[in-house]
Structure 1
């Protein structure tokens, strides 16, 4: 019952910008039989998700990080879609399709199977459960609807808007009748926001020498809601352009992840003078809403009212490059690694 198991291991803790060489391809041996006396499952991994939060997991344990560091010499872990090969858990049986935290390897032994969710809707692409129907989609949904309390007609700005979360937040906002502008890092991505995802407007932040002026141009009366994915200079400029009683949902700050010395934010007094509410969130707080989220989003997908773009990397050996690509803007849409297709 033992088979060879190709894996992606963390070589050592990463400082600064990560490189593909910080991860190594290896091969181990795994039993396809779940240990007796446990409630473990063994899964065959099909799709892996590359997510910005994983950058902090590449570094040494940090009191500011909300996700545990990976252990050098062991497989990287992250969200993925898998098929159950063997199960001692009462909620799963052989052949079930599931999504949850798994290893960057061909097969994984999952000892905490209660953290996995069985996939019931199989009439949509399975890869969607790494994104729009998984953690990413829930992040966009909860961060916008639950944290921001949006209202029809409000103005919404989204940074890193062509990414996995940003593209969905913008479309959720449009479905509510909001005015939506996004920023991205290339002409291709700006065109995608306007022509594929239906944003009212978008701009390339790399071409703007004055972000404050750019935001005043797109939001002459100010911003009601800012969905924060970037941090740093963008956050500083946004604070100057928020309306009174505006709301900021802090999902991430990708511009800061690889910096040993973080950029200062100078305009924080705007939080006081404009009575702005700023709230960071972790998706674990909202997973109890997952059934309601599926009821909300699946009809929109099937009716073609939500567009969704994936950036597909084929094969486990492409996983290190796919992950690193998140931090230099190489990906367009949700970055997915395909190990095997069901």
Structure 2
């Protein structure tokens, strides 16, 4: 038998366990040109909340009562397709299930890295790391000596942004709401200053203390008061890369009351989708693997065991229970 996680209904507000169902199905059999894969690792990501609604977005909504989709790393169990053999490790968008059958063009063989664990290709060397790299380099056009402010800095994407910016020679300020995460950002990732938004009476004032000369780049993961604070301190010609706005995913939030700063400071603010830039993935991986091996791109995963616990792992993203990438381990 194979297990799948289905969406039973579109959530109202923060998702709950009642929105999901664990369904057992017959293990599929591959036809000619197809491959049977057992998933080993799967990713849960905040952007998936945007697909749990009927509202139009940049990706279609999840269908109800069918297996959800998401990034995963799996092992080939049986192959009837050229280019794949039993035991090969592959990445796919066929997460949220223990086994699946796919055509060869739905799979990507993992590079032969030897010393790098496969799950890293779901975090700092996967979509997460690529998102950070694209936003920082292509959208924000970050350069040495920039002052870079990162919201959700201890999260999966934010923690990579911090390290990539430090590797460029930037002064990096991270925002988090947790003391242990703040310590990790400074002691292990080398972040220059940390703003704890839960301890700060005034987030904008706290950011001003950390960046007395203003900020040149803001990597946006949160929205709400974080965006307002960033706009209070942007320098002329600052760049804002808008990756996500998790504060708005479950509950509507009012817009910033200081958007005029974009005009006064000639700020460029641009949203982006990482898949639009996937043709640069090989460039990112080449740079990222070198940084990982040199210890300049560290990673931490919050691992939940068992596909049955995948819904709760996803729900926990919205209360910040992860440090770094949230992953679900499905098999050894």
Correspondences of 1:280-291 after superposition (within 5 Å): 280-291=271-282
In structure 2, the residue matched to 1:230 is 222
The one of 34, 46, 52 aligned to 2:30: 34
Alpha-carbon contact 2:149-2:218 (below 8 Å) kept: yes
Is residue 131 from structure 1 mapped to residue 123 from structure 2 by the alignment?
Answer: yes
The one of 9, 17, 20 aligned to 2:17: 20
In structure 2, the residue matched to 1:57 is 51
After the TM superposition, which segments of 4 or more aligned residues of structure 1 sit over 6 Å from their partners? none
Please give the alpha-carbon distance, in whole angstroms, between the structure 2 residues aligned to 1:88 and 1:268.
56
In structure 2, the residue matched to 1:44 is 38
Tell me the number of residue pairs that the alignment of Structure 1 and Structure 2 aligns: 331
Deviates more, 1:113-122 or 1:225-234: 113-122
Correspondences of 1:1-342 after superposition (within 5 Å): 4-31=1-28, 33-36=29-32, 39-59=33-53, 61-63=54-56, 65-111=57-103, 113-120=104-111, 121-259=113-251, 261-341=252-332
Structure 1 length as normaliser, TM-score? 0.93
Alpha-carbon contact 2:13-2:250 (below 8 Å) kept: yes
Structure 1 SS opposite 2:92: strand
Q: Closer, same or farther in 2 for the Cα pair 1:68/1:122, shift >3 Å?
A: farther
Please give the alpha-carbon distance, in whole angstroms, between the structure 2 residues aligned to 1:20 and 1:180.
37
Q: Closer, same or farther in 2 for the Cα pair 1:280/1:91, shift >3 Å?
A: farther
Following TM superposition, by how much is the alpha carbon of 1:88 offset from its aligned partner in structure 2, in angstroms?
4.2
Following TM superposition, by how much is the alpha carbon of 1:56 offset from its aligned partner in structure 2, in angstroms?
1.1
Structure 2 SS opposite 1:103: coil
Following TM superposition, by how much is the alpha carbon of 1:20 offset from its aligned partner in structure 2, in angstroms?
2.0
CA RMSD after TM alignment: 1.4
Deviates more, 1:97-106 or 1:46-55: 97-106
Structure 2 length as normaliser, TM-score? 0.96
Q: Closer, same or farther in 2 for the Cα pair 1:286/1:115, shift >3 Å?
A: farther
Please give the alpha-carbon distance, in whole angstroms, between the structure 2 residues aligned to 1:160 and 1:92.
38
Following TM superposition, by how much is the alpha carbon of 1:133 offset from its aligned partner in structure 2, in angstroms?
1.2
Please give the alpha-carbon distance, in whole angstroms, between the structure 2 residues aligned to 1:17 and 1:126.
31
Following TM superposition, by how much is the alpha carbon of 1:211 offset from its aligned partner in structure 2, in angstroms?
1.6
Please give the alpha-carbon distance, in whole angstroms, between the structure 1 residues aligned to 2:3 and 2:315.
20
Q: Cα deviations across residues 206-237 of structure 1 (Å, max 9, x unaligned)?
A: 11221221111111111000000001111012
